Structure 1
Amino acid sequence: MYIIVGLGNPERKYDGTRHNIGFSALTVLADTYGISMDIKKHKAVCGKGVIEGQKVLLAMPQTYMNLSGESVRELVDYYKIDPEEELIVIYDDINLAPGKLRIRPKGSAGGHNGIKNIIAHLGTQVFPRIRVGVGEKPKGWDLADYVLGRFPGEEEPVIREALEKTTKACCEIITADVTSAMNKYNNK
């Protein structure tokens, strides 16, 4: 079984913000595969289903971004999965242009507090992740204000396409492996 985690903040006011791109990606994935996100367990809103013949659990931690590791640790322990092989984490990246994807099998937090907390709780940096570019903050902007802001209208089509590619990348990881997904979906 795979656990696919999308990172974001739980309150409605954060819907559609750059920092909630992980939640948005999970919503597209759930809609594409008819997975109801109706289970509230392990400090997350979850949905069980099947993607390309593989059992999956989709999870949106409800702990706020900086404490995402609490939920991820509970999920990994409860379902007894190997995070190095059966966990996929989707989150925002300000170092990538809007809509660009970067898939990796492991890595540091790169300044992302949600990933930093997951690494701390799992005790490893080795787990597949899909970073979705939300663009660099403009000069003079506060980082929190930027990531908690919404995409301008002209970026929305690019973001929609990125969310569809994220769904395909998850499927590629599940049916093939991380390397295959990297080769297909990492933007050069």
Structure 2
Amino acid sequence: MRGYQLDQDPCPSAQLKSIGAAIAPRESTAIVDSGLLRHAALDQTQCLISLRSRTKAERPGNGWSIDYTVGITVALHKKTDPGDEFEAQRRVTDLGVVPEELVESVPDLGDKAYLVTRDAGNVELRVLEGGAVLSLHLSASTRDQSADDEEDVVGDGPDVPDLSPYQPAMISDMRDLMSSLKH
């Protein structure tokens, strides 16, 4: 296991310092669906963390806002080697298989690491180190702040921002997450 342990759910204490500095700090109470699975073969946790909304001065205007969410998944495989599946699934996302050119190898991070760009508003950093598989997913979405939930939004909102400038911050925060899980 290379020293990795899930003694407790790491999501509540994940600092996300680099992403927070690059985009916006995390909301202190914005953890959704966090939980810890313990099993003889696998320990796993998964969560979504919202980042603080941008101030009005940073918003794209016309009542629209850009919301950012960070997803964290940690799976510690205690009985099987996840290496073959990790490699085989490097292009698989929740919406299907992305072209090879949207998968970028990240050197000097775990045994293998990939940045996978699903689309303009979604990028995921996946790392394999021994029996540990870690993922940090950054997504951006736009929403009309002035519309009621049940009201149809008229007109197009701003484009979702390009997330590629935040990839170094994702790598830095992944290193911090990996360090926090080693004992």
TM-score relative to the length of structure 2: 0.31
Q: Which has the higher helix share?
A: 1
Give the TM-score normalised by the residue count of structure 1: 0.30
Q: Which has the larger radius of gyration?
A: 2
